[in-house]
């Protein structure tokens, strides 16, 4: 039995819970899902999902709860993490508000990448498209909602999927980060791959 | 039944891109769950909301309490005011159009806001119909007083629901009543989910399709995100609504009609995120002073004509 956390400060928590449950059943892995809101919960989990939502909101609540420092240490020590959309922004080392604007340090900052928040624009630019992920041997629906764009990444990060020329799913050892929402795709392939990393 | 008339397709290189699907509209609402959305009238108020950790803001010409005091016709906010807020902050920006005013909704979509609130807080424009929201690429949120009203709005294409409450009163009693009615309706559907005849009777009573009644019965909740709104003024009010099972809260006049908007905004965000932890809600409630809360209005002191929750409810 492994304990899989979902960072529960704000956002689409239940969608990840459902996707994790289905994925665990498919690969026949026993998991317990924990909604993580307290720093004390972090030492007892074996993996964590950083969900989609508003990264600024998560940042302000999370800082007040003092949750990011212990979380960062745990991820540094190798705990598998799946970041989606806002979660990827929290994980990235550099964050820009606009393409031309300055970059500030990311909240957790362990993914060696520069991301632009709402890189495609507002909700009217939100989109769906088919994504081919060769490493997982699947085609899934990519659901991008006010999604960030990964502008720059270090060479040692593996790119698992792209849209046009932008990486949208990347892997840096224990960190798996998507700019889209696999939890809304109807496929559990990415959650299965994540659970297999534990 | 899903209509997807608001879809726009285009090609990016060799990728086929689709905008405005139902999944994207409802998905947007899912991303603001467990969050607080604040009414604002200018960029300064919007910045306070963003710094406090709000998940979005709602732009109005006047706060509901001022609309109530001013009387007259309340319409969508100025284009200039909406654009000024959009330029100033990076979180999603919503704005209100009048009930049934399809043209105001088209304008808001053109401006590029993230979600439209077809709101009873503004003066209703069409006594016979709400906006047919399926035609739009932008998602909509609508108010409700009970489950039937919520489901009728979803059938018109709403991607998110909120209680109506009684806006601009600082009194949470009506929001509690409306959420209680939604929960009661859902329990009724759930307990009859294996009885098609009773389910059909209930769907006719609620004036919604059998299919949507069945879907709701099977899900055991609304098929879209559901927020509380109307009269929320304190962290305790916000946590109370979360306790009743809403996905998040809208706060209208409660923030900027108080004398401590900065800390109150932050305290409400904190109370929403931690509603199930009494210690943290206490921490949030201790941040504010009741002496600084908006004075508020006793609902019983309002005549039926003065209540805005009835606007559009018969449809």
Q: What distance in Å separates the CA atoms of residue A160 and residue A177, rounded to the nearest whole number?
A: 10
Q: Are B20 and A124 an interchain contact pair (Cβ–Cβ within 8 Å)?
A: yes
Q: What distance in Å separates the CA atoms of residue B4 and residue B97, rounded to the nearest whole number?
A: 21
Give the confidence band of B1 by pLDDT, cuts at 50, 70, 90.
low
Q: Is the pLDDT of residue B3 over 90?
A: no
Q: What is the pLDDT of residue A150?
A: 98
Q: Are B23 and A163 an interchain contact pair (Cβ–Cβ within 8 Å)?
A: no
Q: What is the pLDDT of residue A39?
A: 95
CATH number at residue A176: 3.40.50.880
Quick one: what percent of chain B has pLDDT higher than 90?
85
Number of domains in chain A: 1
What CATH number was assigned to the domain covering residues B17-180+225-287? 3.20.20.70
Smallest Cα–Cα separation from B247: which of B172, B185, B174, B179?
B179
Q: Is the pLDDT of residue B303 over 90?
A: no
B81: alpha, beta or left? (left if phi > 0; alpha if psi -120 to 50): alpha
ipTM of the complex: 0.97
Quick one: what percent of chain B has pLDDT higher than 70?
100
B135 neighbors B164 (Cβ within 8 angstroms): no
Q: Is the pLDDT of residue B300 over 90?
A: no
Residue corresponding to tokens 């840096």: A172
B248-297 pLDDT tens trace: 999 988 899 899 999 999 999 999 999 999 999 999 999 999 999 887 88
Cβ neighbours of A178 in B, within 8 Å: none
A12 neighbors B34 (Cβ within 8 angstroms): no
Q: What is the pLDDT of residue B72?
A: 87
Q: What is the pLDDT of residue B14?
A: 83
Q: In the predicted model, what is the mean pLDDT of chain B?
A: 95
Q: How many residues would you count in chain A? A: 198
Q: Is B96 a catalytic residue?
A: yes
Q: Are A57 and B55 an interchain contact pair (Cβ–Cβ within 8 Å)?
A: yes
> In angstroms, what separates the C-alpha of A91 from chain B's closest C-alpha?
18
Smallest Cα–Cα separation from A161: which of A184, A130, A186?
A130
Q: Are A128 and B50 an interchain contact pair (Cβ–Cβ within 8 Å)?
A: no
Q: What is the pLDDT of residue A76?
A: 97
Cβ neighbours of B12 in A, within 8 Å: 129, 163-164
The DSSP result for chain B, as a single string, is ----TT-EEEEETTEEEEES-HHHHHHHHHHTTT-EEEEESSHHHHHHHHHHT-SEEEE-SS-HHHHHHH-S---PPPHHHHHHHHHH-SS-EEEEEETT-HHHHHHHHHHT-SEEEEETTSPPS-SS----GGG-SS-EEEEESSHHHHHHHHHTT-SEEEE---TTS--THHHHHHHHHHHHHHHHHHHTTT-HHHHHHHHHHTTS-HHHHHHHHHHTS-SSEEEE-SS--SHHHHHHHHHTT-SEEEESHHHHTSS-HHHHHHHHHHHHHTTT-HHHHHHHHHHS-GGGS-----GGGS-GGG-STTTTTT-
Substitution target in B14, B20, B24, B91 with the highest count of A β-carbons within 10 Å is B24
Parse chain B into domains and list their residue ranges: 17-180+225-287
Q: Mean pLDDT, to the nearest integer, of A46-69?
A: 97
Lowest mean pLDDT among A137-141, B47-51, B135-139, B299-303: B299-303
Q: Is the pLDDT of residue B216 over 90?
A: yes
Q: Is A181 a catalytic residue?
A: yes
Q: What is the pLDDT of residue B297?
A: 84
Q: What is the pLDDT of residue A69?
A: 97
A95-148 pLDDT tens trace: 999 989 999 999 999 999 999 999 999 999 999 999 999 999 999 999 999 999
Q: Mean pLDDT, to the nearest integer, of B105-126?
A: 97
Q: Which domain holds residue A9?
A: 2-196
Q: CA torsion angle for B149, B153, B155, B157 (degrees, to 10)?
A: -170
Q: What is the pLDDT of residue B202?
A: 98
Q: What is the pLDDT of residue B5?
A: 80
Q: Is the pLDDT of residue B312 over 90?
A: no
> In angstroms, what separates the C-alpha of B201 from chain A's closest C-alpha?
31
Cβ neighbours of A146 in B, within 8 Å: 28, 31, 92, 114
| Options B96, B133, B164, B257, the catalytic residue | B96
Give the confidence band of B46 by pLDDT, cuts at 50, 70, 90.
very high
A contact residues 20-79, partner B, Cβ 8 Å cutoff: 37, 52-54, 56-57, 59-61, 64
Q: Is the pLDDT of residue A149 over 70?
A: yes
B76 Cα distance to chain centroid: 16
Q: Mean pLDDT, to the nearest integer, of B56-61?
A: 97
> In angstroms, what separates the C-alpha of A122 from chain B's closest C-alpha?
6
Smallest Cα–Cα separation from A92: which of A118, A69, A114?
A114
In B, minimum Cα distance to A64 occurs at B270
């Amino acid at each position: 039995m492994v304990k899989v956390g979902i960072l529960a400060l704000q956002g689409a928590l239940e969608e990840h819970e459902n996707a994790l449950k289905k994925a665990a059943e498919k690969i026949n892995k026993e998991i317990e899902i924990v909604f993580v809101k307290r720093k004390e919960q972090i030492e007892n989990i074996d993996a964590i999902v950083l969900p989609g939502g508003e990264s600024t909101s998560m940042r302000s609540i999370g800082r007040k709860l003092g949750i990011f420092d212990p979380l960062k240490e745990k991820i540094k020590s190798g705990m598998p993490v799946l970041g989606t959309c806002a979660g990827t922004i929290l994980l990235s080392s550099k964050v820009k508000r606009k393409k031309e604007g300055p970059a500030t340090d990311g909240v957790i900052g362990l993914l060696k990448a520069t991301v632009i928040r709402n890189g495609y624009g507002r909700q009217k630019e939100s989109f769906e498209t088919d994504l081919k992920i060769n490493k997982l041997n699947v085609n899934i629906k990519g659901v991008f909602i006010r999604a960030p764009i990964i502008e720059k990444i270090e060479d040692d990060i593996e790119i698992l999927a792209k849209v046009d020329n932008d990486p949208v799913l990347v892997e840096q050892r224990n960190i798996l980060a998507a700019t889209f929402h696999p939890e809304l795709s109807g496929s559990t392939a990415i959650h299965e791959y994540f659970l297999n990393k534990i | 039944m899903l209509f997807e008339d608001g879809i726009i397709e285009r090609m990016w290189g060799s990728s086929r891109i689709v905008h405005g699907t139902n999944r994207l509209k409802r998905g947007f609402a899912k991303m603001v769950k467990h969050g607080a959305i604040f009414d604002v009238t200018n960029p300064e108020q919007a910045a306070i909301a963003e710094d406090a950790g709000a998940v979005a803001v709602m732009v109005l010409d006047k706060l509901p309490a001022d609309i109530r005091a001013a009387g007259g016709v309340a319409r969508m906010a100025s284009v200039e005011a909406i654009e000024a807020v959009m330029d100033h902050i990076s979180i999603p920006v919503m704005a209100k159009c009048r009930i049934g005013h399809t043209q105001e909704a088209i304008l808001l979509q053109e401006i590029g806001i993230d979600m439209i609130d077809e709101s009873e807080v503004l003066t209703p424009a069409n006594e016979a119909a709400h906006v047919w929201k399926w035609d739009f690429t932008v998602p909509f949120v609508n108010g409700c007083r009970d489950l039937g009203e919520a489901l009728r709005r979803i059938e018109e294409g709403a991607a998110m629901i909120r209680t109506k409450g009684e806006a601009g009163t600082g009194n949470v009693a009506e929001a509690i009543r409306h959420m209680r009615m939604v929960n009661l309706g859902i329990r009724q559907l759930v307990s009859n989910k294996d009885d098609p005849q009773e389910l059909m009777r209930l769907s006719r009573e609620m004036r919604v399709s059998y299919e949507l009644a069945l879907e709701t019965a099977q899900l055991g909740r609304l098929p879209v995100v559901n927020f509380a709104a109307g009269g929320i003024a304190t962290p305790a009010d916000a946590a109370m609504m979360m306790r009743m099972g809403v996905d998040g809260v809208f706060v209208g006049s409660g923030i900027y009609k108080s004398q401590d908007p900065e800390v109150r905004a932050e305290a409400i965000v904190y109370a929403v995120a931690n509603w199930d932890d009494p210690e943290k809600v206490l921490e949030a409630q201790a941040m504010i002073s009741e002496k600084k809360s908006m004075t508020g209005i006793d609902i019983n002191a309002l005549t039926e004509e003065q209540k805005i929750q009835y606007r559009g409810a018969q449809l």
